[in-house]
Structure 1
Amino acid sequence: MTLSRRQALGAAVALPLAAQAARAATPASAPSLPDKASFAATPLAYFDSASTHPISLGARAAMDAYVAARTLDPFAMARPPVDRAKLIAKFAALVGAAPDEVTWVQSTTMGEQAVLRALGFPANRGRVVTDTLHFYAAFPMYQEMAKQGVDVAWVQARDGRIAIEDMARAITPGTTLVSLSLVSTYNGFQHDLKTVCDIAHAAGALVYADIIHAAGAVPVDLHASGVDFAACATYKWLMGDFGLGFLYARRGVLDALPRSEYGYYGFAAPGAPPGIGLSPPQTHVFPMDPPGDAPTSYSVRPGTLGHFGTGTYAQGITAALDHAMDYIASLGVAAIQRHAQALIGELREGLRAKGYVLITPPGTTAPLLTALLPDAKTRLAAPLAKAGVRLSLHDHHLRISPSVFNDGRDVERLLNTLPRA
């Protein structure tokens, strides 16, 4: 066979990318931490993974190979596509769930809203208990629901924590849903999720947990916690990208809920096997279709996919995520957590020495450290940019979030850049 110039160039690009992705996805041994080699070299000391985690070199190679295949390059097309069912199973194993309890969503917020719709909010005007360390962008959603008659109870933080006794007082009989972030995006506070679920279930309520700052960062066991629903996107500690996430619904919970989502992935041909493989409903309206009394014959897929599966999702991200899930598994979440906590220990000591007020509670084991500083963004944006240090700056606080590639030199550079509070 004679290759055209275009095909030859495509082969020169696609084959190395595919080979790099394959090597990265199946490392001979787990990398040691800190692991800078698996990520692109950068002049930045990057401490903002709680906002957006960098994509690894292996994940980039996997995405590049996917894009090459989408150009119909014959060499890249020979690479097997991501097995989406296996990818769902990898995530389920990471968070202590069963694969049939998990499906795709676009984002954490989309998952939370799907749960609210399934429970009939806001039309049912039930009671929701949430707290002020939940994701702050969800606050307007619950405020708007309150305007429509939903009884929304806000549990206030005290000393950077949500006290379990305050949650217990708020979760009264008649509460429909308790909605919280397992790990707070604001300061890293982590709920005792099992205790919250025990209290909620005793009152007849269900529990939703935003786990975007937990999955991949701290050990998570959804089954052991008893939580009913959970969701997360993949662009933070799962090291994926924007536009793809996961929704979990505990087996059995959906049986009592009316269907609220109707989409391409939730339905299949009669008798189709379970799972996320395509098997569209049998049509009865087109030429040579078998006859039928309705436009289609179909079955509802079981589990969370059948209840919440809707339309297409960001398949290019699955390539990066498949690599990232294997990378996280090779390191182990406990090792990732230990590494981050060692760095946070140094940061705590250094920030206190400079007079910063820390609002991340002592004993927090998530990879976030938040400090109060009046006019933080105005005071720190320029010196941090000049020093090549990236973290999350807000009007009156700063948040530092180390990950697997950060080391002691990064910590020293950050502390040397920060002025006294």
Structure 2
Amino acid sequence: MTVTRRHWLKSAGAVSVGAAASTVTAHASAAPSDPYAGPSMPTVFPDKAGFGHMDVTYLNAGTYHPFSRGARAALDAYNSHRSLDPAYADLQVDEARVLDKFARLINADKGEVAFVQSTTMGENMIVSGLGLAESQARIVTDSLHFFGSIPLYEELQKQGCDVVWVRDRDGRIDLDDMKKAITPGTKFVALSLVSTINGFQHDLKAVCELAHAQGALVYADIVHAAGCIPVDVKATGVDFAACASYKWLMGDFGLGFVYARKDVQHLIRRPLVGYYALGAFKSHLYPFDTPGDMPADYTFEDSAKGLFAVGTSSESLLAQLDYSLGYLLTNGPDRIQAHAKPLTDRLKAELPKLGYTLMTPLDCPTPMVACVYQNARALDARLTAGKVSISLSANRFRFSVSVFNDDADIARALSVLGRA
């Protein structure tokens, strides 16, 4: 018996575990319309109507993004299908369409992206698949990379890797400092394209040119970039990237993406093995199977999915993300970034007047503005009372501007925040 991964669960030779239908395209006759597709026309910003009533002035999309009305409707439609509502009987989640939308968003090829559980999972799978610990590789990272990745590289250092940390200067990573750190023999450079700490954006193309000149590969955490600023993996030349979907992709927790450039995929030793990575499967164990020397013959897909896919993804999240990625593609990250810029410019101008010290460089083009503030969580009481939501950390706070925010939101938040 020979089956493809697509038909795995329909085959008599497969173990029944659930959701192979996730690769089936939604039928045109399903619901009254395709609730997953996303809008067909760009919206006018600020998109207040698209996100419905909020009881707070929400400037915290960099922590997690609110659901849009459309994404919520997509989730409701999926729940109707799973509840066996006959009006939605033929509605199926199109897993391939979701991957294709993300690939288009970052200018990747379809075979270069796969689903993962989170940004951190993607980064760990890449590090493991490259065998960096076993080769005791020289690794360069920086102090504005995701703080949750610090233990990963400290553990690699304990295992014998030569890990170099480039420190920031005035809220930015200096390209000359990166050049000094990426010496001959460096194998891997890990960074956040946009820093969760303060919104600093690397010149990723320049870093990749430095790294590639020394034979090093580059990984970029793009969780604070994809969806809110233009990201072009081909133009930058980055080798690997990963992101979750609950921030600027307007999805939810538990589903993200990994990117691996086609011409470096052969360098990855498959870190985990699961049936979703298979391109074909032929069993020799079950009734009417042809005999074989092994329990099964199989091949892996020649793609990022063949390297990183393991098992099922949440179909409810895929339904919601299908809509949200459609929203982002229709509106365009360039328009989204242009909408945010005057709002972040005002924050950068007004916060110092209130006595706060900026962590974010003035010329930073990303939709986040951060300030140093000792014991920043002490601000929570006044912000909560004033119904303003921003990100508060131990000794810093951060504003994140999205498509539904306007100048009145900035004015109100600054008024509630008050003087330092």
| TM, length-normalised to structure 1 | 0.90
Equivalent in the alignment of 1:178: 189
Judge which range, 233-242 or 248-257, deviates more: 248-257
Separation in structure 2 between the aligned mates of residue 21 and residue 35 of structure 1, nearest angstrom: 22
Secondary structure of 2:371's aligned partner? strand
Equivalent in the alignment of 2:410: 411
Equivalent in the alignment of 1:336: 336
Per-residue Cα deviation, 1:51-89 (whole angstroms, up to 9, x for no partner): 00011111011111112212223222232x232212211
Question: Which of 78, 82, 86 is matched with 1:70 structurally?
Answer: 82
Please tell me whether residue 207 in structure 1 is matched to residue 218 in structure 2. yes
Pairwise CA distance, 1:28:
5.6
Contact 1:375 1:395 in 2 (8 A): yes
Equivalent in the alignment of 1:45: 57
Equivalent in the alignment of 2:5: none
Contact 2:126 2:268 in 1 (8 A): no
Equivalent in the alignment of 1:294: 294
Contact 2:39 2:326 in 1 (8 A): no
Equivalent in the alignment of 2:271: 260
Equivalent in the alignment of 2:253: 242
Equivalent in the alignment of 1:348: 348
Pairwise CA distance, 1:32:
0.2
Pairwise CA distance, 1:21:
6.6
Contact 1:40 1:57 in 2 (8 A): yes
Contact 2:139 2:189 in 1 (8 A): yes
Contact 2:130 2:267 in 1 (8 A): no
Per-residue Cα deviation, 1:316-351 (whole angstroms, up to 9, x for no partner): 111111111111122111110011111111112221
Contact 1:21 1:58 in 2 (8 A): no
Pairwise CA distance, 1:353:
1.5
Pairwise CA distance, 1:18:
5.6
Contact 2:191 2:221 in 1 (8 A): yes
Task: Give unmatched runs, 5+ long, in structure 2.
Answer: 1-29
Separation in structure 1 between the aligned mates of residue 31 and residue 52 of structure 2, nearest angstrom: 18
Per-residue Cα deviation, 1:107-147 (whole angstroms, up to 9, x for no partner): 00000001001111322211110000000011011111111
Separation in structure 2 between the aligned mates of residue 345 and residue 257 of structure 1, nearest angstrom: 42
Question: Which of 41, 57, 71 is matched with 2:69 structurally?
Answer: 57
Pairwise CA distance, 1:240:
0.5
Equivalent in the alignment of 2:124: 113
RMSD over aligned CA atoms reads 1.6
Please tell me whether residue 402 in structure 1 is matched to residue 401 in structure 2. yes
Secondary structure of 1:154's aligned partner? strand
Please tell me whether residue 308 in structure 1 is matched to residue 308 in structure 2. yes
Contact 1:343 1:411 in 2 (8 A): yes
The aligned runs of 1:121-270 (5 Å cut-off) are: 121-269=132-280
Separation in structure 2 between the aligned mates of residue 20 and residue 39 of structure 1, nearest angstrom: 20
Equivalent in the alignment of 1:322: 322
Equivalent in the alignment of 2:22: none
Pairwise CA distance, 1:190:
0.5
Separation in structure 2 between the aligned mates of residue 202 and residue 175 of structure 1, nearest angstrom: 10
| TM, length-normalised to structure 2 | 0.90
The verdict on how the C-alpha distance between 1:26 and 1:239 changes in structure 2, with shifts beyond 3 A counting, is: closer
Contact 2:223 2:247 in 1 (8 A): yes
* Partner AA of 2:270 in structure 1: R
Secondary structure of 1:178's aligned partner? strand
Contact 1:264 1:312 in 2 (8 A): no
The verdict on how the C-alpha distance between 1:43 and 1:97 changes in structure 2, with shifts beyond 3 A counting, is: same
The verdict on how the C-alpha distance between 1:166 and 1:61 changes in structure 2, with shifts beyond 3 A counting, is: same
The verdict on how the C-alpha distance between 1:27 and 1:313 changes in structure 2, with shifts beyond 3 A counting, is: closer
Per-residue Cα deviation, 1:162-217 (whole angstroms, up to 9, x for no partner): 00111111111111100000000000101111111111111111000000001011
Judge which range, 253-262 or 115-124, deviates more: 253-262
Separation in structure 2 between the aligned mates of residue 28 and residue 123 of structure 1, nearest angstrom: 49
Separation in structure 2 between the aligned mates of residue 156 and residue 118 of structure 1, nearest angstrom: 27
Pairwise CA distance, 1:19:
5.3
Separation in structure 2 between the aligned mates of residue 244 and residue 387 of structure 1, nearest angstrom: 33
* Partner AA of 1:355 in structure 2: G
Separation in structure 2 between the aligned mates of residue 224 and residue 398 of structure 1, nearest angstrom: 33
Contact 2:140 2:190 in 1 (8 A): yes
Contact 1:18 1:62 in 2 (8 A): no
Task: Give unmatched runs, 5+ long, in structure 1.
Answer: 1-16, 270-280
Contact 2:38 2:70 in 1 (8 A): no
* Partner AA of 2:394 in structure 1: D
Please tell me whether residue 386 in structure 1 is matched to residue 385 in structure 2. yes
Separation in structure 2 between the aligned mates of residue 288 and residue 74 of structure 1, nearest angstrom: 36
Q: Deviating runs (4+, > 4 A) in structure 1?
A: 17-21
